[in-house]
Amino acid sequence: MSDPRVKKLAGILVGHSLGVKKGENVVIAASSELAKPLVLEVFKEVLKAGGHPLTSIGFEETQNIFYNFASKEQINNFPETRYHEAKKVECFVNIRASANKKALSGIDPSLISERSKVLKPISEEIVNRKRWVLCNYPTNALAQEAEMSLEEYEDFLYGATNIDWNKVKKKEEQLKAVLDKASVVRIVGKDTDLT
């Protein structure tokens, strides 16, 4: 049986974070197959919103293989098809689901940096011109990094994301209205006094 919190998160990502509309193309990218439950729910939500989902699921091992075997020419190859995709779609969902946070620790950092520079135009197209959202999917590696059990990390993640964002927005608007009327704002707390 699937976790209902996954379905709720998918609805928030597609409906609230991205506001997917009918006819829009949405890339659902995941860093590993571990994100499958969330990928499938997001896929479903995009369809329900009238969008066109496209999936891009990675295997963490391919990164290691790439950096261990790629030639200089391959490291510096610009993936035109990925860039074209970034230009043509409206929305991106990027799901991080790491199995090993140290997977690239044995790789020369200069290779990773060099490749990042090659891919920068794609990242900039997405970040600066598209609607996008990045989220974690709970894995043992992410739980370990947070110094939590998997169950604790799941509760933490879903507790932080699966909230009524419209209610939060209304509260923020009320607070903004109060703050906008003030000429000076002072925040006081233990070891804090900001003006």
Predicted confidence (pLDDT) per residue in 72-125, tens digit:
999 999 999 999 999 999 999 999 999 999 989 999 999 999 999 999 999 999
CA distances from 151 to 98, 102, 118, 143 (A): 16, 22, 38, 8
Helix, coil or strand: residue 151:
helix
Domains, the chain, ordered by start: 4-164 (3.40.1830.10)
Predicted pLDDT of residue 1: 61
How much is the pLDDT for 183?
87
pLDDT at residue number 187: 87
> Model-level pTM?
0.86
Strand order in the sheet with 25-30: 52-57, 25-30, 91-96, 131-136
Measured CA to CA in angstroms, residue 170 lies from 18, 54, 64, 92, 167 at distances of 19, 33, 46, 26, 5
Measure Cα distances from 7 to 57, 148, 153, 182 in Å: 19, 23, 17, 41
pLDDT of residue 49: 98
Share of the chain above pLDDT 90, in %: 78
| Residue 83, CA atoms < 13 Å, CB-side half-sphere | 10
The token duo for 32 is 């590993």
pLDDT of residue 186: 87
Residue ranges for the chain with pLDDT beneath 50: none
pLDDT the model gives residue 96: 96
Handedness of CA 13, 17, 19, 23 (dihedral sign): negative
